[in-house]
Amino acid sequence: MLEPGVAVDLSFNETGAGEPLVILHGLFGSKRNWSSIAAKLGVHHRVLTVDLRNHGESPWAARHDYPALADDVARLIRTEIGGPAIVMGHSMGGKAAMMLALTVPELVARLVVVDIAPARSGGSSLDFLHALQAVPLAVFTRRAEVETALAGAISNPAIRSFLLQNLITAPGGLSWGVNLDALEQHFADILGFPDIPLGHAFAGPALFIAGGRSEYVLPQHRAEIGRLFPAATIEVIEDAGHWVHAEAPGPFIEILGRFLEK
């Protein structure tokens, strides 16, 4: 595990050609979650889908807060792109994208934030983390056994399936491909968002896409969005929840396409 304060080299997949677009997943997610969206966007863009630190194939690190995540993405953009990119993030990845835009705006040509606000988040994500920690992986050998063990704590099969994408099967046994200890230690940081001083904002083009059935972007968040991102527009897909891009990919791509074509 890397020392705190050290930017990590993030794992990513790449598709398409054109203006670069970097996609950041949410908590317990990975670059694989965005493969189908990336394929569509790759018609006009060079798309990099990224594993954030402590997730997927990227390195584990003791620190997990938004300044650290933003530093990692800045390093990726400088190394792999060499100039500004469109940056899109969902949930935790959306907060990382916002932090990047606020701290290193010269690297962000356009900002897209998917169903998250620059504010403290609620939800039951900590319960999901504890459910994963409670699974006795050492006594299991099959994915089905792990799913059964999770069913008692997580009744929604779609959420179980999403979380099980982090299960790694290897000759040495089962393991989680996400750094649960680091995420638990920094969970308050993940739910929160750094205090941004008055007068500090990202002036570039920004789009917030929210799910109408989600509670992560609410009317009371609009003032703070406007303060930090004065050029932002907010679009709501009424029939979608928190995973907007997966639940309503058609409307999501349509809204995103209009923004990117401006």
Q: What confidence tens digit (pLDDT) does each residue in 177-224 have?
A: 999 999 999 999 999 999 999 999 999 999 999 999 999 999 999 999
Alpha-carbon gap, residue 39 to 173, rounded angstroms: 33
50, pLDDT greater than 60: yes
Which two structure tokens, joined as six digits, stand for 262? 């401006």
Give burial (CB, 10 Å; 0-12/13-18/19+) of 87: buried
Alpha-carbon gap, residue 30 to 167, rounded angstroms: 12
Cross-strand pairs, 175? 168
Asked whether the beta carbons of 244 and 252 are under 8 A apart, the reply is yes
Neighbours of 25 (CB within 10 A): 25
Enumerate the H helices of 11-51 as residue ranges.
Answer: 35-41
Alpha-carbon gap, residue 134 to 139, rounded angstroms: 12
Average pLDDT, the chain: 94
Pairing of strands 167-170, 173-176: antiparallel
Neighbours of 137 (CB within 10 A): 17
Q: Which of 210, 214, 238, 239 is closest to 222 using CA atoms?
A: 210
Q: How far is CA 130 from CA 153, 176, 184, in A?
A: 9, 13, 8
Q: Which residues are catalytic?
A: 91, 181, 242
The DSSP code for 220 is: G
Alpha-carbon gap, residue 243 to 228, rounded angstroms: 24
257, pLDDT greater than 50: yes
Average pLDDT (92-102) is 98
Average pLDDT (76-94) is 97
Asked whether the beta carbons of 67 and 6 are under 8 A apart, the reply is no
Q: Which of 25, 33, 26, 28 is closest to 246 using CA atoms?
A: 33
**Element spanning 216, H or E:** none
Alpha-carbon gap, residue 243 to 213, rounded angstroms: 10
3, pLDDT greater than 60: no
Average pLDDT (20-34) is 97
What confidence tier does 1 reach under pLDDT thresholds 50, 70, 90? very low
Domains of the chain, each with CATH number or no CATH: 13-121+192-261 (3.40.50.1820), 125-180 (no CATH)
